[in-house]
Structure 1
Amino acid sequence: MKKPLIVIIEDEEDLLELLEYKLSKEGYEVEGFLSTKNVESFLEEEDVDLMIVDRNLPGLEGSEFVKSLRNKGVETPIILLTAKNADIDIETGFLRGADDYITKPFNMNELVLRVKAVLKRVKPETFENILYFRDIKLDLNKREVFIEEEKIDLTKLEFDLLYTFIKNKNIVLSREFLLENVWNKDEIHQDKTVNVAIKRLKEKIDPKKKKNYIEAIRGVGYKIG
């Protein structure tokens, strides 16, 4: 039940660290390289789901590296990330084997959406109905939850509650919103119903109270982030 593994090749160390941080927070396993050196041996040893490759790399230019991988039969989906934004550069990138092309400067949230879109397109059966948050994995088809690859038993209500939080991560959700979207609208519930359910959920997903997935925002509601 491993997380999708993404390889990033980017020679700007600060940007590489930012990409690693952002994609890790989105629930991906990330391996970063500052050049193409050692990448091919890594691809031979690991089952990589996606690559993000800068074009302006030391040594072998990024799109040339992509072309060499394609010529060797590597089919891993690849997103080129580059400041080269002329039409001919974009065309060349696709012709050499890229699945998508993002030009710098770019919006980090857009990059995340493109990553998800490429993964869904190439492996829809694997990624379409799976959500990740930090070390939590939700399999929506099987309605199963894994934390650090260990299965956690949740009730239907707890699963729906966790799903709602992750789907709306970093957004403060009011008790009214949770009652309307998680509980049956036709039933009468009180705010304490939400409080009790969240307390039980937190006890199951964070029994040692060290991870603090769900945060109470006083007077407003709760958020996961």
Structure 2
Amino acid sequence: MSALIVIIDDEEDLAELLEYNLSKEGFETVGFCNVLKVEQFLEEEEPDLLIVDRNLIYAEGAQFVKSLRSKGFNTPVIFLSAKDSKEDRLQGFEAGGDDYITKPFDMDDLIARVKAVLKRTKKQSNILKFKDILVNNESKQVFINDQEVSLTKLEINLLTEFIINKNIVLSRDYLWDKIWGSEYMSEKTLNIAVKRLRQKLGNSDYIVSVRSQGYKIC
């Protein structure tokens, strides 16, 4: 099972131990000792899992994850913390955690639970969320505030591409190739498609035009 796992823990020895053991299992890992650059990383990459300590410099782990969730980041999270009371665990789950492991912990148990979360969330990968928009690519349905919106297959593909690459400017050439499968499509065709998508989303300002570059959802 290949996956990119982000480890956020200010205990350097523990972070290195986690990276070493997860790498042995075939996972790619990236470590951060605080939260300062994590959000920027999430905007640029698509990790499969975050392992987050609760006691972090500059931010409390559960509050940080709660903030990420409010901004539309849906990356699965396992809390790894010395905070081990029932209340602490509930706070972790309420903040958006998918699992909660207390320190000290057994490495084999952690790896098993990492694999379980990855397996479970991979099955949910056909469900994409962005703010009040939900896209079910399995049933080909789109909902805004739980109300279904009728989109064409092309519009669903376009919206899906925007959400997967949220906060990233997608050039017209990229969209032409990815959605239409052609490098040679009139600019008018793309502009009309984006305009119609915006209208069906309730003239949402989520999809913005970036002059001379393309479009992004933010």
Q: TM-score, normalised by structure 1?
A: 0.56
Partner in structure 1 of residue 109 of structure 2: 94
Alpha-carbon distance between aligned partners in 2 of 1:194 and 1:51, rounded to the nearest angstrom: 36
Residue type of the alignment partner of 2:113: D
**SS of the residue aligned with 1:99?**
helix
- Structural RMSD (CA): 3.7
204 and 77 in structure 1: CA distance in 2 versus 1, 3 angstrom threshold: closer
Are positions 1:218 and 2:211 aligned together?
Answer: yes
Partner of 1:191: 187
- Residues 1-225 of structure 1 aligned to structure 2 (within 5 Å): 10=54, 14-26=60-72, 52-57=78-83, 78-80=99-101, 89-91=104-106, 94=109, 99-100=113-114, 118-122=116-120, 125=123, 127-185=124-182, 188-207=184-203, 209=204, 212-225=205-218
Mark the runs of 5 or more structure 1 residues left unpaired by the alignment. Answer: 1-7, 29-49, 67-75, 101-116
Paired letter, 1:129: N
For 2:62, the aligned partner's letter is L
CA contact (8 A) 1:158 1:197 kept: yes
Q: Cα–Cα, structure 1 residues 138 and 27, in superposed 2: closer, same or farther, change >3 Å?
A: farther
Query: Any conservation in 2 of the 1:129–1:141 contact (CA below 8 Å)?
Result: yes
Give the TM-score normalised by the residue count of structure 2: 0.58
3-state SS of 2:208 partner: strand
Max Rg structure: 1
The 1:93–1:157 alpha-carbon spacing in structure 2 relative to 1, beyond 3 Å, is same
Residue 162 of structure 1 aligns to a residue whose secondary structure is helix
Q: How many residues align?
A: 158
Partners in 1 of 2:125 and 2:138 — Cα distance?
10
CA deviation after TM superposition for structure 1 residue 77, in Å: 5.7
Q: Is the 8 A contact 2:99 2:117 kept in 1?
A: no
**C-alpha contact (below 8 Å) 1:79/1:98 kept by paired residues:** no
Cα offset, 1:94, TM superposition: 2.6
**Distance change >3 Å, CA 98–CA 55, structure 1 → 2:** farther
1:169 aligns to what SS in structure 2? coil
Question: What's the CA shift for 1:133?
Answer: 1.5
AA partner of residue 190 (structure 1): S
Which residue identity lines up with residue 120 of structure 2 in the other structure? V
Q: CA deviation at 1:192?
A: 1.5
Where in structure 2 are there 5+ consecutive unaligned residues?
1-51, 91-96
SS at match of 2:142: strand
Aligned partner of residue 141 in structure 1, secondary structure: coil
Render the CA deviation track for 1:24-75: whole Å, top value 9, x for unaligned. Answer: 33365xxxxxxxxxxxxxxxxxxxxx8854532275697xx79xxxxxxxxx
Identical-residue share of aligned pairs (%): 32
